[in-house]
Amino acid sequence: MKAVMLAAGKGERLWPLTEHRPKPMLPVANRPLLEHILETLEAACIDEVILVVGSNRERVQDHFGDGHDRDLDITYVTQSRQLGTGHALLQAETHIGESFITLNGDRIITTDLINAVRNQHTTADLVMGVTRVETPSRYGVVDLDGQTVTDITEQPHPDQVRSTYINAGVYAFTPEIFGAIRDTESHGEQALTDALTPFIKDRRLQAVQYRGRWLDVSVPWDLLAVNNALNSAQESSSTPTTTTVDESAVVADTAILGAGTTVHPQAAVLQRTTVGDNVRVGPGAIVENAILLSDVSIEAGAVVTDCIIGANTTIGPNTTIESGTRDVVLNGSVYDDVSFGGLIGDNVSIGGNVTLAPGTLIGNEVTIEGGTRVSGRIADDTHVT
């Protein structure tokens, strides 16, 4: 079977990292999200993939090419306007002539889910993977009658959640799904789950219950959780030969260091941390539960915790990114009591003795002068004194 990967989403809640890179190219465990998913497809013996790309699609195509170096045959189709997951799937229609797998490009799963959906498809025309999570109201909640899907409710109020199962984002379809998408009334966006309504009414949509790894990235702190899960799961991390770690520095066993990185004397790269290529961790600096993209510089004595730092950004000496709990506003939605240090964009320069309050979001190309205390959201190209 072919697989259609929906990887065109912009990921506005992950601003500012997604201004210059597509959401599926955000790094976890020092590799793009999409790379982890494609590896799972390979392990499931699916070698023909249609990638639906959109915003900043060149980054995806330049990284994966035609897929031949990964034993994959990758074809690209473009969703030029973000008009929903159903509309994204329609872009692949001309490449599909028989049954196929569809999955999201921002959820890390195992081969067990793909194989289970594919196997169930031998007796059912349409199959959806379902799983359980701690906060089902964040996703599409699925009601079941045995193995038959009877309803899907997108992001219901927590008080209205009737089921513990959610849509896992992996499907097996026949080409008739394309006609169902076109026939679905849309109000600006064509959601794939809306197109499933007639099949649900006819009791033709079957569910596969999955209890394995299911890691979703919707908001910035999800990146840290997924990074932690992948770092903890790896058996060992070999340090590249071009990476230098001073003998007085501390690097946790599960921390990942990129090529060309230097960890200076008395510095500490602690648990749940991934450090990209060509990063400098200065003398006495402490980094914990963080993702540092490439070419970041953490100057002497800085403390960086529970945060994500974009490419080519400098954190000045004795600057602190505080860990703590704070309400965070993303794309107009309020997330209560989030334990999150902050998100800093690309090409940011932060001076010495700066304090960033928990939950701070700093845009790209920002300059923050020394001795400043910053909180909330700082727009792109801002100069803070």
Lowest mean pLDDT among 74-78, 81-85, 261-265: 81-85
Rounded to two decimals, what is the model's pTM? 0.91
**What are the tens digits of pLDDT across the range 249-285?**
999 988 999 999 999 999 999 999 999 999 999 999 9
**What are the tens digits of pLDDT across the range 146-205?**
999 999 998 888 888 888 899 999 999 999 999 999 988 777 778 899 999 999 999 999
% of the chain with per-residue pLDDT over 70: 98
Instruction: Name residues whose C-beta falls within 8 Å of residue 242's C-beta, 6 or more positions apart in sequence.
Output: 259, 260
What pLDDT score was predicted for residue 184?
85
For domain 2-218, the question of CATH label 3.90.550.10 is answered with yes
Boundaries of every domain in the chain: 2-218, 235-384
Chain centroid to CA 145: 31
% of the chain with per-residue pLDDT over 90: 80
Q: Which CATH class is domain 235-384?
A: mainly beta
- Rounded average pLDDT over 81-95: 92
